[in-house]
């Protein structure tokens, strides 16, 4: 399998002069998804945590409703990339083959290949009640993600998605060159561990766009917190599905855009 990080030579230009150097950069590989031999999608992604990617993508795209319908996953390296062969159990395979569509998804796009405006704007499912968290707990969750970003610490070029809950703290972290891929990998990791996103919050290192809300809602996440700003459409989608959307989470605090009833108290250090 390709390594997730590659070291390449570079010419370094600085104010003090030039020098020859070596830079660690993330690999980007074509990942093809097939379900019972039927092609479904090709995404550009970091070649690691691929079984998580297979399960999470299938869940957040609505191909499956539960990991239980997956019979097996084969990771097959080919000349042009990697094929994830997902085998569905008989009844679900028949249903899938009757409604499949094809997607081509470059790294930066989470909605490429959809066939209609209605499909692109599909309303996410309502999220559950979730739990109420304090401002300090939310800051703890956000702060806990950065030390676990091994790929980003080495390359400074990948996104991360993590899941935190008050009992177990940071449960899982996944990284990828694509923010949607990182979230899909996280969704798969939780599902394969028998966990859900219902009693904690998802932490994102990226901006929050519509598909990040849709994918988070698909796995029942009642709260998401991101370091960057949301889009207006993401705010409307989060409002519609009952999700608490927290963004612009920095060292001194954060902003709550929808359903603030899940956030209580004050930060230990007041925000001006």
How would you classify residue 49: left for phi > 0, otherwise alpha for psi between -120 and 50, otherwise beta?
A: left
207 vs 200: CA distance, rounded Å: 20
Please state, in angstroms and rounded to a whole number, the distance separating the CA atoms of residues 244 and 247: 10
In the block, residue with structure tokens 């070029």: 157
Q: Report the sign of the C-alpha dihedral through residues 145, 150, 156, 162, in that order.
A: negative
Tell me, letter by letter, the H, E, C secondary structure of 17-54: EEEEEEEEEECCEEEEEEECCEEEEEEEECCCCHHHHH
From 75, 109, 114, 198, the catalytic residue: 109
* Residue 109 falls in the annotated catalytic set: yes
Q: Tokens at residue 140, please?
A: 């703890």
Catalytic residues: 109
């Amino acid at each position: 399998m390709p390594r997730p990080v590659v070291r390449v030579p570079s010419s370094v230009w600085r104010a003090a002069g030039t020098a020859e150097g070596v830079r660690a950069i993330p690999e980007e590989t074509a990942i093809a998804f097939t379900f019972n031999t039927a092609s479904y999608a090709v995404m550009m992604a970091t070649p690691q945590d691929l079984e998580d990617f297979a399960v999470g993508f299938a869940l957040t795209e609505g191909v499956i409703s539960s990991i239980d319908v997956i019979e097996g996953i084969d990771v097959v390296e080919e000349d042009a990339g990697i094929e994830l062969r997902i085998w569905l159990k008989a009844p679900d395979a028949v249903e899938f083959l009757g409604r499949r569509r094809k997607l081509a998804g470059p790294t930066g796009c989470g909605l490429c290949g959809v066939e209609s405006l209605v499909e692109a704007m599909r309303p996410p499912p309502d999220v559950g009640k979730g739990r109420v968290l304090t401002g300090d707990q939310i800051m703890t969750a956000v702060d806990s993600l950065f030390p676990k970003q091994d790929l980003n610490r080495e390359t400074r070029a990948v996104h991360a998605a993590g899941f935190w809950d008050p009992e177990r703290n940071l449960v899982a972290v996944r990284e990828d060159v694509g923010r949607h891929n990182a979230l899909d990998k996280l969704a798969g990791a939780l599902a394969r561990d028998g966990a859900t996103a219902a009693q904690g919050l998802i932490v994102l290192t990226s901006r929050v766009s519509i598909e990040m809300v849709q994918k988070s809602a698909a796995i029942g996440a009642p709260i998401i917190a991101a370091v960057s700003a949301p889009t207006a459409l993401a705010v409307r989608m989060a409002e519609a599905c009952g999700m608490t959307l927290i963004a612009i989470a920095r060292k001194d605090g954060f902003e709550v855009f929808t359903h603030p009833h899940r956030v209580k108290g004050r930060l230990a250090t007041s925000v001006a």
